[in-house]
Amino acid sequence: MIAPIPVSLLVNGEPIEALVAPRLNLADFLRETLKLTGTHVGCEHGVCGACTVRVDGEIVRSCLLLAVQAQGSSVETIEGLSDSGEIADLQAAFRARNALQCGYCTPGMLITAQDLLRQSPTPDRAAIREHLSGNYCRCTGYQAIVDAVEATAKTRAEQAA
């Protein structure tokens, strides 16, 4: 049926039960149903990366995932990553280096950069650019974003040592 379908999932650790139309994508579910508007919607066809969220620990495009497909998953949004403090240092580095202007791409950039730093703690600039290659920024020219990610990686590595 085109009729709504029940879904249950975790969003930022909180159990959520909802009835969703099959056509509702996860980005709109987060933004409109749950009012988690930190997940941004740019292109709605996978190219801009503004809608990037984590599902079961892996980054995905929430505009290309139906809310019903998130059944049983654990979804983490920028709100979750911010509130837990997981990316506080990365956020501070973005701010310190003007790695954002309008801020539209920033949630997706932060989640994607954090994904890289979790997989490879000391990436070089080429690796940073490659991991962020699917995230558009129309303000900064990317240089400052790469700087912020590189600086965060260095600080974390020093702290771990």
Partner 1 sequence: MKAAAFTYARATSVVNALELLAAHGDKAKVLSGGQSLMPAMNLRLVSPDIVVDIGGLTELRGIAVSGDVLAIGALTRHVDLLRSPEVAAHAPLLRDAVAHVAHPAIRNRGTVGGSLAHADPASEIPACMAALDATIVVRGPGGERRIATAEFFRGIYETALSPQDLLVAVELPLSGEGARFFFQEYARRHGDYAIVGLAARALVGGGQFTDLRLGFFAVGDRPLLADAARKLINVSVTPALLAETAAALAEELDPEEDQQASPAMRRHLATVLMRRCVAALLERPELETGGAW
Ligand X SMILES: Cc1cc2nc3c(=O)[nH]c(=O)nc-3n(C[C@H](O)[C@H](O)[C@H](O)COP(=O)(O)OP(=O)(O)OC[C@H]3O[C@@H](n4cnc5c(N)ncnc54)[C@H](O)[C@@H]3O)c2cc1C
Residue of this chain nearest to ligand FES (CB atom): 63
**Nearest approach, Cβ of 39 to ligand FES (angstroms)?**
9
For residue 52, report the phi and psi dihedrals to the nearest 5 degrees.
Answer: -60, 130
Is 47 a residue that touches ligand X (CB under 6 A)?
Answer: yes
Is 5 a residue that touches partner 1 (CB under 8 A)?
Answer: yes
Q: Which is nearer to ligand FES, 89 or 115 (CB)?
A: 115
DSSP 106-152: HHHHHHHHHHHHHH-SS--HHHHHHHTTT---SSS-SHHHHHHHHHH
Cβ–Cβ under 8 Å, residues 73 and 53 = no
| CA-wise closest residue to 100 among 85, 84, 113 | 113
Is 133 a residue that touches partner 1 (CB under 8 A)?
Answer: yes
Q: Which is nearer to partner 1, 55 or 144 (CB)?
A: 55
For residue 42, report the phi and psi dihedrals to the nearest 5 degrees.
Answer: -105, -70
Query: Pick from partner 1, ligand FES, ligand X, none: which does 83 bind, CB < 5 to 8 A by kind?
Result: none
How far are the Cα atoms of 66, 74, 76, 87 from residue 9, in angstroms, in the given order? 13, 6, 11, 23
Is 58 a residue that touches partner 1 (CB under 8 A)?
Answer: yes
Please give the residue ranges that form the binding site for partner 1 (CB under 8 A): 1-2, 5, 21-23, 25, 28, 44-46, 49, 52, 58-61, 63-66, 68-69, 71, 112, 115-116, 129-131, 133-135
